[in-house]
Structure 1
Amino acid sequence: MHIGLLCVQENPEHRPTMSAVMLLLGSESMVLPQPKQPAFSLSRVLRLDPSTKTNPSGNEIIFSDILPR
Structure 2
Amino acid sequence: MDNQIILESLAAFRESQLECLAMSNRINQLMSMVLPSLSELVDAIEQKRQSHDNMSDFRRSLVSMPPLTFG
Task: Give the TM-score, by structure 1 length.
Answer: 0.23
Larger proportion of helix: 2
Which structure has more RCO (C-alpha within 8 Å, separation ≥ 6)? 1
Max radius of gyration: which structure? 2
